[in-house]
Amino acid sequence: MEKGPGVEPKRIVAIFYFFAAIVVGIFLEKILGIAFSYARLNDTALLGDEWTTTTVVGYGIAAVLAVLAWRSPRVNAVSMQVAQELELVSWPNLRETRASTVAVVIFTFVAAFTLGIFDLVWSRLSALVY
């Protein structure tokens, strides 16, 4: 396995926090939309038709949470340790990945065929008994 060029751990952590904030923002937008509908509050459009109150509040809360996590020494230290451990991983090259994928696909077909035969035999035996 080849060791590829490394990426700075701080950059990996920053990218993770960015994408985590987007995912949390989408989640909070949906949750706030449900809460607004139960409370019978209007979800007014703030920035065009797409950016409603729930969207702005959800993404705002997610951004604040991401910044707080980034600035928290304890959370940031753990995140940096995880990113540094990822540098030590030796990732497979394209040839190894392709060979492993082919092996998994072939094994899946063999297992499916074997289970299909067992199912066929069992259904015939069950039909004889019942």
**How do residues 92-110 score in pLDDT, each as one tens digit?**
899 999 999 999 999 999 9
Q: Are 20 and 66 in contact (CB under 8 A)?
A: yes
pLDDT at 87: 80
Q: Which domain holds residue 7?
A: 1-90
Per 3-state DSSP, the chain is made up of helix, strand and coil in percentages (nearest 5) of 80, 5, 20
- Taken in order 44, 47, 52, 54, the sign of the CA dihedral is negative
What is the spatial distance between Cα 128 and Cα 58, in angstroms, rounded to a whole number? 60
Residues 42 and 68 occupy one common structural domain: yes
Give me the number of domains the chain comprises: 2
Statement to judge: residues 34 and 49 lie in one domain? yes
pLDDT at residue 1 in the model:
46
Q: Identify whether residues 2 and 50 lie together within a single domain.
A: yes
Shared-domain flag, residues 68 and 96: no
Same domain, 19 and 32: yes
For the question of whether the overall pTM of this predicted structure is more than 0.75, the answer is: no
* Residues 33 and 74 placed together within one structural domain of the fold: yes
Higher pLDDT, 28 or 6: 28
Question: Over the stretch 33-77, which tens digit does the pLDDT of each residue have?
Answer: 899 888 888 877 777 778 888 888 999 999 999 999 989 999 989
User: What are phi and psi for residue 52, nearest 5 degrees?
Assistant: -95, 180
pLDDT, position 21: 94
Same domain, 67 and 112: no
Whole-number pLDDT of residue 129: 85
In this prediction, residue 5 carries a pLDDT of 57
Q: Which of 13-27, 46-60, 82-96 has the highest mean pLDDT?
A: 13-27
User: What is the structure's pLDDT at 119?
Assistant: 96
Clarify whether residues 73 and 124 are in a common domain.
no
